[in-house]
A and B are shown apart, each in its own frame.
Chain A
Amino acid sequence: MSQTVLQAEGLTKTYRSGTNSLTVLDSVSFSVSQGETLSIIGPSGSGKTTLLGLCAGLDVPSSGIISLMGFKLNAMSEDDRAHIRNQYVGFVFQNFQLLQTLTALENVMVPLELRGEKNVSAKAKDLLDRVGLGQRMHHYPTQLSGGEQQRVAMARAFITDPKILFADEPTGNLDEENSNHVTDLLFSLNKQQQTTLILVTHNLELAQKTERILRMRGGKLVDQQSTAVL
């Protein structure tokens, strides 16, 4: 049996403003196994991004338990969660989130440097070569197109050989050609490195490329299906 890398139990997130409160995520429970690919879909405001944030340890739930690689994230300090992310997690965002003052190569090197590893540039260069940016590794993000920036972001996400990769609308800001290129790259790198992939998207076509789809509505998990069944 595959190892569970992510487990959510009764995840609830409520925002309070004065006497008002707004529950954006309501008792969501699911688990993800090692190497599984999963997408979270749902309309705007359904709680997809909130769920992703909680799963990746970017935020803590109001109630419920979130366990990543066996670590109970909601019991940890922010810095401890940052350490977990650095060790086990990769991210790809809709708006790329590259550090504007760093070159493509330096952006890719950052996660390994944070681990305190030395001589990381070779690995970063190799990854940039694999995503087709070997010739542009010394360019700054502003000198790259959207598709290129997203490929740099993927190289950065995969450089730590993450156990789990969170992707938030990774093709949301790209044209069709770039979108296809990035999608292919994402799934191919994922397969090569046996990474668990959790994808948040509006794009059903993209979602159907994953093994399982979680459907959110009004902060609740309303359905989860294997795409094989679909």
Chain B
Amino acid sequence: MIEYIITLKRKTSNIFNDGWVWRMAWRDARHNFSRLFLFVASLITGIAAVVALDSLNNSLQDDIDRNAKELLGADYVINANHKFEPELLTTFDSTKVEQASQADMASMVLFLNNNQSRLIRLVAFDGPFPFYGELETQPADAYTKMKGGRYAMLDASLASQYEVSSGDSLRIGNITFKVAGEVKRLPGGGGILTTFTPSVYISMSELDSTGLVQYGSRVTYKRFFKTTSESDAEKLVEDFKPLLRKYGHSYETVEGRREGLGEGFNAIYRFFSLLAFLALILGCIGVASSVHIYAREKRDEVAVLRCLGSTGWQAFNIYFIQIFFLGVIGSVIGAFMGAGIQQLIPVLFRDMLPLEVSFSISWISIAQGVVLGTLVSVLFSMLPLIAVRFVPPLTVLRSDFESVKTFSKSRLVAMVLIALFPFLFATYQTHSWRMGLMFSLGLAGALGLLTLVAMGLLYLVRKFFPTNASFVWRHALSNLFRPNNQTRMLMVSIGLGAFIIATLNIVEKSLLGQVEFTGQENQSNTILFDIQPSQKDGVVKLMKENNLDVKQVVPIITCRLSMINGKTVDEIQQDTTDRIRNWALTREYRVTYRDSLTASEELLKEYKKDDLVVKFPPPELQHRVKNPSGLFKVPIQTKEDQRYYGGVIGDSAVVNIPVTRDSVFVTISEGMTDELQVTVGDSLVFDVQGVPVRVIISGIRKVDWPKDPPNFIFVFPTGVLENAPQIFVATTRIDDQQVANRFQQQLVTLYPNVSLIDLRLILSTINELFDKLGLVVRFLALFSIITGLVVLAGAVINSKFVRMKENVLLRTIGARSRHIRGITLVEYAYLGLFSALTGLILSLGGGWLLTKFFFEITFAFDWLELLIITGGVVLLTMVIGWWNSRDVINTPPLQILRKES
């Protein structure tokens, strides 16, 4: 008997010295490239997304770093929302650095060439601004001309919208200006901001003569400084800091602007990274799924090879070599395609960026893409390929024979690496392990939820299977559950794309819903502000003459806070333990006075603390209630005995605070109580144009801000501020555009300082903004949909032969071509529908969460638009499915039967 010495005899070889596996890999691959289409396509899509967005980020970062000074136009800028105080002006003058000034405010402009008017941002310049970068105009001498006299420049978008060109005239306030030219590019300006506020530029020397700067006008002042060195700029910052804090002004440095922009772009980049990450992960799933299908198809061949004496590793190596090289090829194609897509992005972004981005090809990104793609192709094909090692040779005799061994160390290592990959990749891309963790957890959550919804839908379909439906509909539905189906995977990937698009749509609708009240009957859609007391009656008369309903005429008084609960603003600023933010302390408050609530306000009726339930008094008693003792008291009704208590409501019980005859009770808007750290019963002192007015907070209003503006943080009672300097805001509703144009024209002519906000214009601006943003987001969401469709195409191609055989069988037993076509189309329609539903269900949930907690707006959606999205996804899925199934449908049965025989 021969002894068992086999282990000594058998030579082992590795992938590098085993020429046979390389020969076999090539021989086998010659006929299998088309079968690996899905694999390569998935990889290309994922890598293209990553490279495109990575290159974009690199270009943006480079340009921000290179153009930081140009973005600010100066080394140092101080911003104020009122004229600089004399003390500050003296300090400015004492510095020996070059300076320039800017003032900007909202104003109406009347274009005299067509008598159209609109609200614009009026910017007045003084001095040699910009110190860095170039103010690019058309014609080139427009800026010089503007500085010289009554000339104005305007943003190119505004000029083209109102067909204004050099030499035309426009009226701002009391003055008529000639148009000097258009502003093409302004350091620190432009980009998407101009969508909201197109600007008109004049010389500072002309600002006062317009008559626009009056009491109550909201004017922002900027002072630009040019220093000789960075250290000078830093010294300037330190010198000015105490005064700026004292007066509540802000400042900006080049570094600050760079960081701010960088952070802004980082946020965008993170969002894009997330989408690229999703596309890549979907690509990875596509890779794993395609290799899984491929490996299953190779099972019989592997069994034969095993019978002939191949080891498990040899079999593995044959397919590993194929996958590796195709992975490299796919990664290279994907990386270059990504670089190509990146060149498309400027077209999408052109109107949204405040700086010109060079969008040069980033070779580092391309190299990273190739490495990443190769890594992904190897990593995500590892598990299905390892399964090849365990194909039992007995399969040649019994095709249903399954391997007993399913676990190995290599499988465990692959599983661990695959689980770690999303985290490591996201960490590498965002340079933050926290972000990486969030991304990977978020991804797991999102994919988990999508899978759950997809599974739930499929479960429901099976449970309520339409057994009475026609053959075509039933058979098409059954096809979704065929063995080795990719239905769930497709629902998740296509559903993810649908989810992104639908969520964007829901957020857009919800935001628009905030201003769409203009469409509702009797709601104001036009606001007139900066009406001086002397103009009030005239403006009201003009409105009436134009048959406009005067909805509100509201007085506005500007004031500042000087004390909170006995502590001066200075003391609070000094107190490091205080959590009140400086802007809330130093800002200018625009308050009004009245004795009743408006339609957009709701007094918080109940104030619960412990067992005390306080019923607030009706509005007419809200602000002051006189009692026989001469004290002003707010009546409080307890739950238990329905009796009234004297005093003012404190935080936990009735607080009897000494109030005098002239104490004033004000109400505050809900959110501001947190900002100022105050509640009912707290006292404040306002500086109303130099006069201190002590008030006590007697109520908290819930304000629906966008509804029926203007709305206010503080509302005073009547009888207190009537004699204070004030301006008025009037609201009305104009439905007819012609009436609106005529009224605006008359208003600008008669009352040039009065500005008019057309809420319909804001609505269209938001629409425009979303059109731009939406294009970008949809473009990126397409990556995920394309990946899904690539997976679909691959799944169809891979299951082509099985489907052909089924169709032949169906035809043999009497199915006509139209049945086959019907089944195919309906199957993909089902798939598209279920995928879209998966995305829609989640987007409704996601949209609700986003609107409630992130945007804090009312959740709204448009069924019709969601239906259109669903229809689009269904149609796209049907087209892709149909396109790839043409062979299946059109192949003559005999051809298949011959093959089979």
Contact = CB atoms under 8 A, between A and B. Distances in A.
> What is the size category of the interface that chain A forms with chain B?
35 or more
B306 A82 contact: yes
Q: Which of B20, B300, B398: most chain A Cβ within 10 A?
A: B20
A100 B27 CA distance: 10
Interface in A177-195: none
Given A59-B392, A79-B312, A70 B2 contact: yes
B307 A91 contact: yes
B375 interface: no
B763 to A, nearest CB: 63
Contact of B394 (A59, A106, A114): A59
Contacts of B735: none
A83 B309 contact: yes
A110 B305 contact: yes
A66 B491 CA distance: 50
A49 B395 CA distance: 11
Nearest to B30: A101
Contacts of B23: 113
A48 to B, nearest CB: 10
B576 interface: no
Nearest to A110: B308
B899 interface: yes
A97 B309 contact: no
Of B9, B309, B314, the most chain A CB neighbours within 10 A belong to B309
Nearest to B302: A99
B307 A85 contact: yes
B899 A142 contact: yes
A53 B306 contact: no
Contact of A100 (B24, B301, B312, B397): B301
Nearest to B315: A82
A72 interface: yes
B6 interface: yes
B32 A111 contact: no
Contact of A97 (B7, B13, B304): B304
Contacts of A111: 308-309
Interface string A43-87: 000000100110010110000000101111001101110111111
A53 B310 CA distance: 17
Interface string B1-18: 111101101110100000
B311 interface: yes
Contact of B308 (A70, A85, A101): A85
B4 A71 contact: yes
A225 to B, nearest CB: 25
A93 B2 contact: no
A159 B9 CA distance: 21
Range class of the B interface residue count: 35 or more
A82 B6 contact: no
Nearest to B307: A91
B482 interface: no
A148 interface: no
A180 B307 CA distance: 26
A111 B20 CA distance: 10
B307 A97 contact: yes
Contacts, number: 106
Contact of B6 (A80, A98, A101): A80
A138 to B, nearest CB: 12
A100 to B, nearest CB: 7
B10 A114 contact: no
Nearest to A49: B397
B818 interface: no
Nearest to A69: B2
For B2, B13, B30, B308, the residue with the greatest tally of chain A CB atoms inside 10 Å of its CB is B308
B875 interface: no
B397 A52 contact: yes
Contacts of A79: 10, 311-313
B392 A58 contact: yes
B301 A99 contact: yes
A58 B10 contact: no
B6 A84 contact: yes
B900 to A, nearest CB: 11
A82 B309 contact: yes
Interface string B749-776: 0000000000000000000000000000
B320 to A, nearest CB: 16
B393 interface: yes
A102 interface: yes
Contacts of A36: none
Nearest to B405: A78
B853 to A, nearest CB: 49
B2 A101 contact: no
A147 B76 CA distance: 90
A26 interface: no
A199 to B, nearest CB: 14
A152 B307 CA distance: 16
Contacts of A18: none
Given A70-B3, A76-B6, A80-B10, A53 B394 contact: yes
Interface string B281-308: 0000000000000000000110111111
A49 B394 CA distance: 10
Contacts of A75: 4
A168 B11 contact: no
A119 B13 CA distance: 19
Interface string B716-729: 00000000000000
Nearest to A82: B309
B307 A101 contact: no
Contact of B4 (A72, A97, A115): A72
17 contacts: A53-B394, A59-B393, A67-B1, A70-B2, A71-B4, A78-B393, A79-B311, A82-B309, A82-B311, A83-B9, A93-B397, A97-B300, A97-B307, A101-B32, A102-B28, A110-B308, A114-B309
Given A59-B393, A111-B308, A168-B397, 14 more contacts: A53-B394, A56-B307, A58-B307, A59-B394, A69-B2, A70-B1, A70-B3, A78-B312, A80-B10, A82-B309, A85-B308, A93-B396, A101-B301, A114-B309
| Nearest 4 Cβ contacts at the A-B interface | A86-B309, A70-B2, A79-B311, A58-B394
